[in-house]
């Protein structure tokens, strides 16, 4: 669970809110997956970054669960909520990958 | 624009329940369409939206959603509490607040859209059966997007969503410029709205003036003029006379003016429910007449409201006591209420609003505003006229008899009230000073009195310890005389009469004298005549004596000459006669 890696080996927990097939949402999911793929082999929603680091990604479709998004205070899509290793919120299509990578400690 | 041709059916409207707004728009907001409310900071945009929702939930059975982009929802709830709106009670079922403020620590990495918000709202609308929604304010959202293309795209997204949601929407937008609608930024926002309302706030004569103006209303007529707006204790109030016709009740009942002789001048007093204007220079006893009216009302057992400016209730009671008008018992029994206001305390609109609340609270039969000029002049003449008209409208619809005083200075405007209230007032009494002979006297005249005969004569208003009275004035040589001058003039005339009388008497004496003289002359002449008569008698005697003497002598001669013929004797007789 707690692997020593470039990102100090901490667990990464992410939740991405998307709006069905909306362009920005589709882009964001693609960008996030690409970012994680360069550092790990995809394994469904469960990914291993580097050797041991665990990545937990949940994708929430606001069109499927609209009230949940409202309760979570998510008003724009796509929104990436970082729960671990730090707490942060990123909005947008994640096209600026370096920014996201730095945030997640994946440089 | 292109939709105009395909909408022949009239626009359905949703009442906001905001005083006055539904009047000027002929029913409220366009139903199931979007209204844009624009205005600078602090102009009442948030309150407008919130009040629309609260009234919808409370009065019209329409639940609503408030989407706050700018203020914390707790803050909004707290502000609303100051208007007496119990939001927590409404929040359970009919009102939903969504705190959609952008979080400060959010990181932007690429483009995004509002799908999450709209999807969430959609679900919420279904869940609670919402009929109204407010977005406050959209400019915060636009700032977040920070990209003109994205702004446009997202505003259209909201517009599309609103158009298909079946909700009546209010979208507020703040601007801080002179011409909000010329700004590129809000140009397209305006276009998407069916109705655009502009709220403004400015300061004039140190008085805060708020206004509301409807700039656009697709498919509907509306009052285009800027209308005064107030943020009152119960929310927004929009000053509007409304579209209602003038259908006031007209009473034939007369009520006392408090001065017997004035009642007589007006053929019984003021009409109940009418409006009375008393104008005059400072100190012409306007307040005293007002006090007498209030006193009379309370004596009849009616409720009266006296609104004064820049004078305390205690001062008024004291001043009126000096002319035997005792208001203290009326205050004690609750018949009379004195509201002492400060002119500077607010705009004419604010004063009117306060008055409306006082009237609703006390339900008075008679209202006095002393002076009206102080109440309605704050903030310029244009609002003043409008306020005065609405004031009279307010009292007439409640059948309240309204008496206002107004300050008029100088001689020039005695016949034209600068406030034009005179045209609306039913009875107009003018008080003035006549200064002559080093004395000021108060004159009262009834300039007009609708629906009643009245004396056209000017009367002298006499104030004394005993109270108020009207005295007949003395007219002389086309002049109205009062006070000491009246007495002086009267004395003068009396002296004149005396002098004329004496003159006549003197003339009689002179004539009598002349007559006596003539009499005397007549007596002298009489004596003279008698004297002549006597002389004449003497002369007659002498003549007879002479003739006798002459006859004797001729008889003697005849006797001597009897031989000679007689006829010659006769001829001789003629000769001595001719000698005489």
B123/A66 touch (CB, cutoff 8 Å), yes or no: yes
- Of all residues in chain B, the one with the smallest CA distance to A76 is B114
pLDDT of residue A17: 95
Interchain contact A77–B (C-beta under 8 A): yes
**Using an 8 Å Cβ cutoff, are B274 and B450 in contact?**
yes
Residue (of B354, B421, B362, B359) closest to B394 by Cα position = B359
In tens, the pLDDT along A5-30 reads: 444 556 889 999 999 999 999 999 99
Tens place of pLDDT for every residue, chain B, 580 residues?
Answer: 444 444 446 788 999 988 788 888 888 999 998 899 988 888 889 999 999 999 999 899 999 999 998 888 888 888 888 888 888 888 778 999 998 887 778 888 888 889 999 999 999 999 999 999 999 888 787 777 777 788 888 888 888 898 898 999 999 988 765 554 545 666 667 777 889 898 888 876 666 778 888 888 888 877 777 788 888 778 888 876 544 445 666 778 899 999 988 888 888 889 898 889 888 888 888 889 999 999 999 999 999 999 998 788 899 999 899 888 999 999 999 899 999 888 777 777 788 888 888 888 889 999 999 888 777 766 555 566 677 777 888 888 888 999 988 877 544 444 444 555 666 678 888 888 877 667 778 888 888 887 767 777 778 888 888 788 888 776 666 666 666 676 777 778 888 888 888 889 989 999 998 999 999 999 999 999 999 999 999 999 999 999 999 998 888 887 777 655 555 444 454 545 544 4
**Using an 8 Å Cβ cutoff, are B480 and B443 in contact?**
yes
A76/B110 touch (CB, cutoff 8 Å), yes or no: no
pLDDT of residue B426: 84
pLDDT of residue B103: 76
B110/A88 touch (CB, cutoff 8 Å), yes or no: no
Interchain contact A64–B (C-beta under 8 A): no
For B116, the closest of A31, A62, A88 (CB atoms) is A62
- Tell me the backbone φ, ψ of residue B565, rounded to 5 degrees: -65, 150
pLDDT of residue B422: 62
Alpha helical stretches, state H, B380-449: 381-397, 421-424
Cα end-to-end span (Å), chain B: 153
Interchain contact B109–A (C-beta under 8 A): yes
pLDDT of residue B566: 53
B122/A66 touch (CB, cutoff 8 Å), yes or no: yes
Interchain contact A87–B (C-beta under 8 A): no
Which pTM value belongs to this model? 0.61
pLDDT of residue B445: 84
Q: A94: which residues sit within 8 A by CB, 6+ positions away?
A: A27, A28, A31, A32, A35, A78, A80, A100, B109, B110
Residues of B in contact with A92 (CB under 8 A): 108-112
B392 cis-preceded (ω within 30 degrees of 0): no
B105/A22 touch (CB, cutoff 8 Å), yes or no: no
**Using an 8 Å Cβ cutoff, are B92 and B99 in contact?**
no
Cα end-to-end span (Å), chain A: 20
B103/A89 touch (CB, cutoff 8 Å), yes or no: yes
- Tell me the backbone φ, ψ of residue B30, rounded to 5 degrees: -65, 125
Q: Compute how many other C-beta atoms are within 10 angstroms of the C-beta atom of residue B300.
A: 13
Chain A closest-CA separation from residue B65 CA (Å): 13
Residues of A in contact with B105 (CB under 8 A): 88-89
For B116, the closest of A69, A88, A99 (CB atoms) is A69
Which A residues, 24 through 63, put their C-beta within 8 Å of a C-beta on chain B? 24-25, 27-28, 31, 62-63
Q: What is the mean pLDDT of residues A44-73?
A: 77
pLDDT of residue B124: 93
Strand intervals (E) in chain A: 12-18, 40-41, 46-49, 53-61, 79-84, 88-91
Cα torsion angle, B341, B344, B349, B353, sign: negative
Chain A closest-CA separation from residue B123 CA (Å): 6
For A67, the closest of B103, B112, B120 (CB atoms) is B120
A78 cis-preceded (ω within 30 degrees of 0): yes
d(CA B56, CA B70): 22
Residues of A in contact with B98 (CB under 8 A): 70
d(CA B486, CA B492): 10
B110/A77 touch (CB, cutoff 8 Å), yes or no: no
Instruction: Name the 3-class secondary structure at B38.
Output: strand
- Tell me the backbone φ, ψ of residue B387, rounded to 5 degrees: -65, -45
Q: How far is CA B392 from CA B274, B388, B395, in A?
A: 9, 6, 5
Strand intervals (E) in B253-335: 254-255, 270-271, 275-280, 304-309
Chain A closest-CA separation from residue B183 CA (Å): 26
For A69, the closest of B108, B120, B127 (CB atoms) is B120
**Using an 8 Å Cβ cutoff, are B125 and B65 in contact?**
yes
**Using an 8 Å Cβ cutoff, are B376 and B419 in contact?**
yes
């Amino acid at each position: 669970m707690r692997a020593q890696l470039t990102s100090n080996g901490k667990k990464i927990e992410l939740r991405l809110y998307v709006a069905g097939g909306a362009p920005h949402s589709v882009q964001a999911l693609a960008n996030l997956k690409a970012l994680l793929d360069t550092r790990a082999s995809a394994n469904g929603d469960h990914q291993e970054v580097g050797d041991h680091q665990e990545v937990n990604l949940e994708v929430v479709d606001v069109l499927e669960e609209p009230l949940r998004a409202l309760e979570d205070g998510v008003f724009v899509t796509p929104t990436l909520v970082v729960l671990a290793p730090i707490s942060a919120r990123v909005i947008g299509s994640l096209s600026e990958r370096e920014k996201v990578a730095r945030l997640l400690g994946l440089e | 624009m292109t939709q105009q041709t395909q909408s022949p059916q009239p626009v359905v409207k949703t009442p906001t329940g905001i005083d006055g707004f539904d009047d000027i728009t002929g029913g409220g907001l366009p139903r199931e369409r979007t209204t844009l409310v624009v205005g600078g900071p602090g102009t009442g945009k948030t309150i407008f939206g919130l009040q629309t929702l609260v009234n919808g939930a409370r009065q019209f059975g329409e639940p609503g959603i408030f989407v706050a982009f700018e203020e914390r929802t707790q803050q909004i709830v707290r502000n609303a509490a100051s208007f007496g709106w119990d939001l927590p009670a409404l929040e359970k079922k009919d009102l939903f607040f969504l705190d959609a403020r952008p979080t400060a620590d959010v990181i932007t990495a690429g483009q995004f859209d509002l799908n999450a918000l709209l999807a969430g709202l959609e679900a919420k609308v279904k869940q609670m059966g919402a009929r109204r929604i407010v977005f406050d304010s959209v400019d915060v959202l636009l700032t977040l997007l920070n990209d003109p293309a994205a702004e446009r795209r997202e505003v259209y997204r909201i517009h599309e969503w609103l158009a298909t949601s079946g909700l009546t929407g209010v979208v507020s937008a703040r601007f801080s410029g002179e011409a909000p609608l010329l700004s590129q930024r809000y140009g397209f926002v305006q276009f998407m709205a069916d109705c655009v309302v502009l709220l403004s706030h400015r300061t004039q004569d140190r008085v805060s003036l708020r206004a509301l103006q409807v700039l656009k209303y697709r498919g509907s007529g509306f009052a285009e003029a800027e209308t005064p707006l107030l943020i009152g204790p119960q929310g927004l109030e929009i000053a509007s006379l409304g579209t209602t016709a003038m259908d006031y009740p007209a009473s034939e009942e007369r009520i006392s003016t408090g001065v017997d002789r004035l009642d007589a001048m007006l053929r019984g007093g003021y009409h109940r429910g009418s409006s009375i204007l008393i104008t005059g220079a400072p100190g012409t006893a306007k307040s005293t007449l007002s006090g007498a009216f209030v006193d009379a009302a309370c004596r009849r057992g009616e409720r009266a409201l006296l609104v004064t400016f820049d004078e305390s209730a205690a001062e008024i009671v004291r001043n009126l006591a000096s002319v035997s008008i005792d208001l203290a018992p009326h205050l004690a029994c609750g018949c009379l209420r004195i509201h002492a206001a400060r002119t500077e305390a607010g705009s004419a609109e604010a004063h009117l609003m306060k008055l409306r609340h006082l009237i609703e609270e006390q339900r008075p039969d008679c209202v006095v505003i002393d002076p009206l000029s102080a109440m309605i002049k704050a903030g310029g003449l244009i609002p003043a006229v409008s306020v005065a008209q609405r004031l009279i409208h307010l009292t007439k619809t409640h059948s309240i008899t309204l008496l206002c005083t107004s300050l008029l200075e100088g001689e020039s405007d005695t016949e034209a009230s600068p406030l034009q209230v005179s045209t609306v007032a039913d009875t107009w009494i003018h008080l003035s000073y006549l200064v002559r002979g080093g004395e000021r006297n108060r004159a009262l005249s009834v300039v007009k009195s609708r629906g009643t005969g009245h004396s056209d004569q000017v009367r002298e208003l006499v104030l004394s310890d005993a109270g108020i009275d009207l005295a007949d004035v003395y007219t002389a040589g086309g002049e109205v005389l009062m006070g000491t001058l009246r007495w002086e003039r009267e004395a003068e005339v009396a002296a004149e009469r005396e002098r004329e009388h004496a003159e006549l008497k003197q003339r009689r004496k002179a004539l009598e004298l002349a007559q006596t003289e003539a009499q005397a002359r007549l007596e002298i002449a009489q004596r003279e005549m008698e004297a002549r008569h006597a002389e004449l008698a003497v002369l007659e005697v002498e003549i007879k004596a002479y003739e006798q003497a002459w006859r004797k002598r001729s008889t003697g001669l005849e006797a001597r000459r009897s031989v000679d013929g007689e006829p010659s004797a006769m001829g001789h007789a003629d000769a001595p006669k001719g000698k005489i």
